[in-house]
Amino acid sequence: MNMFQKPKIAVIGAGMIGGNLAYMAAKKGLGDIVLFDIVEGLPQGKALDILETTPIEKINSNLIGTNNYEDIKDADVIIITAGIPRKPGMSRDDLLSTNAKIMAQVAENVKRYAPNSYVIVISNPLDAMVYLFYKISGFHKNRVMGMAGILDASRFRAFIALETGISVESISAFVLGGHGDSMVPLPRYSYVGGVPLPHFPGMTSEKIESIVERTRKGGGEIVALLKTGSAFYAPAASAMAMTESIIRDQKKVFPAAVYCEGEYGYNDLFIGLPAVFGGNGMEKIIEIELEPNEKEALDKSAAAVESLKENLKTLNFIT
């Protein structure tokens, strides 16, 4: 990124997540923002609406909405939200074929216009979509990542706070694995005021299991309540945390969908693992010690992600 000019952030998909991303990026002062969508008028209208908040919010970011991929040219960070959302009764995996077609087109255009960008994928099914982007774009693994674990861990932290009455600021949590019902919340690596969750007063194994299960189904819970779409505030905030850590070289550790080359025993797979995010994108995967039952759960989640990858091959999106 050029230190003498503002970073450029492109958001692909101007739906509920995309609009919130553009607003959050502007409010944080992370750079200039391009909001892209294929629907005429949608990105232009949202960008103009956000632009009109800038005098009130004292924001100095420039925003444009566009239907032209050429406008993402030379973006530093690209966040991809494009795709259809879940509806009640649907799993993330049900979106595979439709969203794969969209992702393939997005990947070709990002490769063409912003070959040096860092790319954060939000589109579902997350682990499959980030893998598809990686394969089509040919980008190095440090430039491609999926937002998943941050959101899942944030839900885990929020539910722990509701149960304990302790501030979310005093709670940390890890959720690994695929972004689906097989995700792996790790109570042993989750802390309340520095105390491991299993040892926190009043936190029984039954309560912990209830929180874990609610975390796994957290997205579906919101889909069932909204009835016409899926979550958008928390996913946007999660992707923005990754974006900020990259643009400002913060070296923060987040659980996120990253490309494995032997880590945890996995190869040629994007799956949620703890990693360092900084000025060089995904800079390092952190390998933590897992107990046999935790590794077994992570292996099960990896197998579910692997099956989605195989489905992409069956559908001829990748070879």
| pLDDT tens-digit series, residues 79-127 | 999 987 766 776 656 778 889 999 999 999 999 999 999 999 999 899 9
| pLDDT tens-digit series, residues 219-252 | 999 999 999 889 999 999 999 999 999 999 999 9
| DSSP codes of every residue in 83-146 | SPPP-TT--GGGGHHHHHHHHHHHHHHHHHH-TT-EEEE-PSSHHHHHHHHHHHH---GGGEEE
pLDDT given at position 4: 55
Q: Which residues of the chain have pLDDT under 70?
A: 1-4, 86-87, 90-93
pLDDT given at position 91: 67
Cα dihedral angle (121, 124, 126, 127), rounded to 10 degrees? -130
- Residues near 34 by beta carbon (within 8 Å), at least 6 away in sequence: 8, 9, 10, 11, 63, 64, 65, 66, 71, 72, 75
The active-site residue out of 179, 218, 254, 255 is 179
Residue 161: closest CA among 200, 189, 217: 200
Question: How would you classify residue 270: left for phi > 0, otherwise alpha for psi between -120 and 50, otherwise beta?
Answer: beta
Right CATH number for 149-313 from 1.10.606.20, 3.90.110.10, 3.30.565.10, 3.40.50.720?
A: 3.90.110.10
All structural domains of the chain with their residue ranges? 8-146, 149-313
pLDDT given at position 90: 66
Verdict on whether the full-model pTM lies above 0.85: yes
pLDDT given at position 93: 63
Active site residue 179: yes
Q: Is 8-146 a domain of CATH 3.40.50.720?
A: yes
Within 10 Å of residue 127's Cβ, how many Cβ atoms? 29
pLDDT given at position 278: 98
